[in-house]
Amino acid sequence: MDYLLGVDGGGTKTVIAVADLNGKIILEKITGSSNFKSIGFIGAVKNFSSGIDEVIKELENRNTKPYFKSSYFGMAGLNTSFDKNVYSDIILNESMKSYLNLQKVVICNDTVIGLAAGSMKRNRIIIICGTGSNCYGINKEGIEAKANGWDYILADEGSGFSMGLAALRAVMRAYDGRGEETLLTKAIFEFLNINSIDELNRWTYGEAFSKDRFALLSLPLCNTAETGDKIAIEILKNEAEEVVINVSTVVRKLNLENKDFDLVFVGGNFKCVKYFKTIILKNLRRSFPGINYVPLTARPVEGAIRLALENI
């Protein structure tokens, strides 16, 4: 029986959805991360394959061999041709190929499906500010553009990780006397349930690296800024300015400066309103009067199904 397949392969979890040929989702499964940059190639293969195997098994238990007439795979961290080749190896294994219409398989960055979940307007852009940060857009001519999203070392400004790292460094500057005193020290100590710089050092280096751990520090950063702490406010304003640069860069690449377009914004950092979200929206509105702000209400995997349906 023919179906549509949509996958949101994130850094934290992978959501797999199957829909009928009208785009109605009839089955979903959630498995672990399939981002090979976060958990390695073997871990990504294991999580992706286990989730897909569960989906196929359940469909076969309905007395039908599934055939995915059109499939969209939105994968976190897919930025280069090398990344695409790796994800192709993860997704298009020999057992999986027999279930897919290979002429209608699209493997793309997860921003593509996130944008489709938020808007199908001909001119549209998405800005993500969560654990990581990324900006992607497409115009009515079909031209695509992106900015940022190169992960935590090369470029991730506006992300929770970037915020958390800046907050930690402000604490250390204050401790050394290289920078001003800040309420971030007390806020982060309370958030982590620690009492000293020695404990902070052990928290930072004592466990296997995880972007998520550092990104969580964006929460006490935002709360501290709300109390009026100058250092916390400065960090958030700097991150907000970087987001404005990201969006403005994509707008220019797509020649949308004087046109109407949707901007879909998604990510937990937008919950930080006064010194982050408000600054971003205000500055972008000043530069681009045709902008239409759209909060993401649908899930990215629903965008994958929409694109798979459109691709038929």
Give the CATH number for residue 108: 3.30.420.40
| Whole-angstrom distance, CA of residue 304 vs CA of residue 302 | 5
Domain that holds residue 12: 2-120+298-311
207 — pLDDT class (breaks 50, 70, 90) = confident
Q: What is the pLDDT of residues 58-69, one digit of tens each?
A: 999 987 789 999
| Torsion angle (degrees, nearest 10) of CA 217, 222, 227, 231 | 70
Q: How many independent structural domains does the chain possess?
A: 1
- In this model, does residue 256 exceed pLDDT 90? yes
Is residue 11 scored above 80 in pLDDT? no
Q: Write down the mean pLDDT value for the chain.
A: 95
Question: Which tokens go with 169?
Answer: 């460094």
pLDDT value at residue 38 = 80
Of 141 and 37, the one with more pLDDT: 141
The dihedral sign for the CA sequence 45, 49, 50, 55? positive
Can you give the pTM of this predicted structure?
0.87
Query: What does the pLDDT read at residue 272?
Result: 97
Q: Within a domain: residue 304?
A: yes
Using alpha carbons, select from 267, 299, 294 the residue that is nearest to residue 148: 267
Say if residue 10's pLDDT is above 90: no
**For residue 201, is it within any domain?**
no
User: Domain for residue 94, yes or no?
Assistant: yes
* Residue at 249 is within a domain: no
**Residue 292 lies inside a defined structural domain of this protein:** no
**3-state DSSP assignment of residue 31:** strand
Q: Hey, what long-range contacts does 278-283 have (CB within 8 A, 24 or more apart)?
A: 279/236, 279/237, 279/240, 279/241, 279/244, 280/240, 280/243, 280/244, 280/247, 283/240, 283/241, 283/244
- Computed over its alpha carbons, how large is the radius of gyration of the chain? 21
Within a domain: residue 99?
Answer: yes
